[in-house]
Structure 1
Amino acid sequence: MKKISFVIICLSFFVSQCQKKTEFKSDDNFSYKAEIVVDGLDIAWGMEFLPDGSILIAEQEGKMMLFKDGKTTQIKGVPEVVYKNQGGLLDLKLHPDYSNNGWIYFSFSGNIENDEEGANTVIMRARLKENELIDKEVIYKATPNTKKGQHFGSRIEFDKDGYLFFSVGDRGNRDVNPQNINRDGGKIYRLNDDGSIPSDNPFVSTPGAKAAVFSYGHRNPQGMAMNPVTGEIWVHEHGPQGGDEINIIKSGKNYGWPLITYGINYDDSIITDDTDLPGMEQPLHYWVPSIAPSGMAFVNSDRYPAWKGNLLVGSLKFQYLNLVFLNEGKVVKEEKLMEGMGRVRTVKIGPDGYIYVSVEQLGIVRLMPN
């Protein structure tokens, strides 16, 4: 009897998952449908659209996949990743001139030194030929390696001038890394596309500093996008318990972690009483409680007229896509999209103008206006 009951419960759960809501209405009564484009994925941490319309996908466990003509193929030649906790194969970004040079940039938690000390964030580039990565080059490797499995950061973006930006989280060492420009971790970095250091980076002439650092005092930025209107690099980052932030990145600025924060420790103890201090930047927006943000994209498509010019941010914790309405650079309203479909890992605007969303243990879905 117990065995029969267990089977019935499992079947009920399966049916409920299959019937998960896929049709939605926004606050202004705009009707849209979330349709699965790529299924069979676990955690698609990063994705990029190639010029032919195919989708390159980074699965956190260490697989890179190419979805083309309805078929998913595994890419060969992916470097070994340290797949542990928050680590693995992470973000993907095409070079702005990809059609001519073929460069694909990606991030992962790696131990390319082959030592015994865990891993840290690696930025690599390669070209794709016959479903295999070739011409692989390490663009940046954060040090030192650590066996801690959290806060790799890893989002990648290019600005309008062709500079490469990426994030490295504080690697769980908040009291040492974020406020120290001589150390990797808790930073946003800027490089030339070949990995060399721009001559006008803010700490190029500072003795002992990491010359690639562009801003510091960050916790774990897992969203990054260029504002298509202003050209600014926007990031969001995980706070502790409360205090997730959206920040506009400026050269040489200190964003405060952990000396200022709107969050507290996970055991409810206080990190600091300060939410602002002289010489430290305030976030454009923060969330209390935390939504656990991941992925970021500006809506630049006419397919969603009421949403155009606003910001999309995934919520891992509450399992929705957050539509952040902006007015003159300030957050004026938020709306939950795709509620209950699953943990949103990343979001992109496709070349067809539609919104594509990676949902953990579901796949990549496309938001289609009804």
Structure 2
Amino acid sequence: MKALQSALLIAGLGLGLTAHAADYRVETLAEGLEFPWSLAFLPEGGMLVTERAGRLRLIDAEGRLQAEPLNGVPSVLVERQGGLMEVALDPEFAENRRLFLSYACGTVEANNTCLASARLVDGTLQDVQEIFRAEFAKRGGAHYGGRIAFLPDQTLVLTLGDAFIHREEAQNPANHLGSIVRLNRDGSVPGDNPWVGQADVRPELYSIGHRNVQGVLWDAANHRLLAHEHGPRGGDELNLIESGNNYGWPKITYGVDYSGAVISPYSEMEGLQQPLLQWTPSIAPSGMALYQGEMFPEWQGSLLVSTLAGQHVRRVSLDGLQVREQESLFSELGERIRDVRVAADGSIHLLTDSPQGRVLRISR
């Protein structure tokens, strides 16, 4: 196991970054992973890690990466940003051994985001079932979303993307592009979803007008759902997600196209939700966790946002719905960071976005 001692590095990006002295230890728990995407801690110890290439890996309770991937993973389309994405444990996993996987499914010419459920039994996935497939089937390999969060009413939300080439469809409720959907855990539609029963509207929709949502979590202390999404060139957003809301993409945005062309002249419009926070230039937010632990008490209650282009973890402290402060953590690693998770002991785990990706543990 490799370790190094590091001091907190603060980068002057964005709103009101402040520094707090903090020493921490960085350990490499596993390496040689092909674009690791998501991590889930097992109640018996150890963790599951997805590789975008379509493999689900086990790191055992002793911290050893098992050589062979787990059997039973559904067929995955591996194309550009597409592949195996999130692994999320059912809130009752200790009793039912059920987990959920999001992944790109279909062909290069006709694909979208799928969600499957399975049970982890003796190191193998059993009872694997596809329970949701986003429509319509689009071509290419970009903007899948793919993050999962569980709500206290026993439902889950799955984030989706606009497929990059179909951004106008994020305003079309007749499909799932550019949305967040809410499902029962068997894949059925909750009867109180905001557009259930409306003609030409997908009943799974919970919110629309998103570009590519790659971070979502339920903040139990404040009883709210938070999500972040990629903007184009600038205009990454942190949003409070509420049922039936339209978050504006691409009618409003704080970013411009990659060519520099204007996507919309508007950053605000009546009936469209404003972000709690927007990042320009883009940091490319990728995962998100809420810090609730004792190891780093100065970060208690903060959001931890992993970033790709930014190559750091952005700590965001909210006072209600107002941003109180931000800081950039772990910049000295020089890594694109795909996911961030907080373990039961308060340590922070990172996944590096690389063909030789690593699982890192940050502790004191």
TM-score normalised by the shorter chain: which range applies?
over 0.9
Structure 1 CA distance for aligned equivalents of residues 158 and 213 of structure 2: 9
1:218 corresponding residue in structure 2: 210
Structure 1 CA distance for aligned equivalents of residues 303 and 64 of structure 2: 31
2:286 corresponding residue in structure 1: 294
Q: Does 1:249 align with 2:280?
A: no
Shift of 1:231: 2.4
Structure 2 CA distance for aligned equivalents of residues 161 and 234 of structure 1: 16
Q: Does 1:109 align with 2:101?
A: no
Q: Secondary structure at the match of 1:170?
A: coil
Structure 1 CA distance for aligned equivalents of residues 5 and 257 of structure 2: 36
1:291-314 CA distances to partner (integer Å, 9 max, x unpaired)? 000000010112111100010001
Shift of 1:22: 5.2
Which of these two proteins has the greater Rg computed from alpha carbons?
Answer: 1
Structure 2 CA distance for aligned equivalents of residues 186 and 50 of structure 1: 31
Q: Does 1:313 align with 2:305?
A: yes
Q: Secondary structure at the match of 1:143?
A: coil
Structure 1 CA distance for aligned equivalents of residues 311 and 108 of structure 2: 36
Shift of 1:108: 0.2
Q: Does 1:119 align with 2:115?
A: no
Structure 1 CA distance for aligned equivalents of residues 276 and 295 of structure 2: 27
1:211-239 CA distances to partner (integer Å, 9 max, x unpaired)? 00000000000001111312211100000
Q: 1:160 touches 1:231 (CA, 8 Å); kept in 2? A: no
Q: Does 1:84 align with 2:84?
A: no
1:140 corresponding residue in structure 2: 132
Q: Does 1:45 align with 2:37?
A: yes
Q: Secondary structure at the match of 1:241?
A: coil
Q: 1:295 touches 1:345 (CA, 8 Å); kept in 2? A: yes
| Residue ranges of structure 2 left out of the alignment (5+ in a row) | 10-18
Equivalent residue pairs, number: 349
Q: Secondary structure at the match of 1:99?
A: helix
Q: Decide which of 208, 229, 239 is 1:237's aligned counterpart.
A: 229
2:321 corresponding residue in structure 1: 329
1:189 to 1:168, Cα distance in 2 relative to 1, 3 A: same
Shift of 1:35: 1.3
1:63 corresponding residue in structure 2: 55
Q: 1:246 touches 1:285 (CA, 8 Å); kept in 2? A: yes
Equivalent residue letter for 2:88: K
Q: 2:109 touches 2:140 (CA, 8 Å); kept in 1? A: no
Q: Decide which of 149, 157, 160 is 1:165's aligned counterpart.
A: 157
Q: 1:294 touches 1:316 (CA, 8 Å); kept in 2? A: yes
1:302-358 CA distances to partner (integer Å, 9 max, x unpaired)? 211110001000110021111112222311221111104201100111122211111
Structure 1 CA distance for aligned equivalents of residues 293 and 170 of structure 2: 36
Equivalent residue letter for 1:366: R
1:21 to 1:287, Cα distance in 2 relative to 1, 3 A: farther
Q: 1:174 touches 1:258 (CA, 8 Å); kept in 2? A: no
Structure 2 CA distance for aligned equivalents of residues 116 and 356 of structure 1: 33
1:134-169 CA distances to partner (integer Å, 9 max, x unpaired)? 101112101222221100000001012221101110
| Residue ranges of structure 1 left out of the alignment (5+ in a row) | 1-18
Q: Does 1:33 align with 2:25?
A: yes
Equivalent residue letter for 1:25: L
Q: Does 1:23 align with 2:6?
A: yes
Structure 1 CA distance for aligned equivalents of residues 4 and 140 of structure 2: 37
Shift of 1:36: 1.2
2:351 corresponding residue in structure 1: 358
Alpha-carbon RMSD across the aligned residues, in angstroms, is 1.7
Shift of 1:20: 10
Q: Secondary structure at the match of 1:197?
A: coil
Q: 2:93 touches 2:99 (CA, 8 Å); kept in 1? A: yes
Structure 2 CA distance for aligned equivalents of residues 230 and 103 of structure 1: 27
Q: 2:3 touches 2:27 (CA, 8 Å); kept in 1? A: no
Equivalent residue letter for 2:82: G
Q: Secondary structure at the match of 1:177?
A: helix
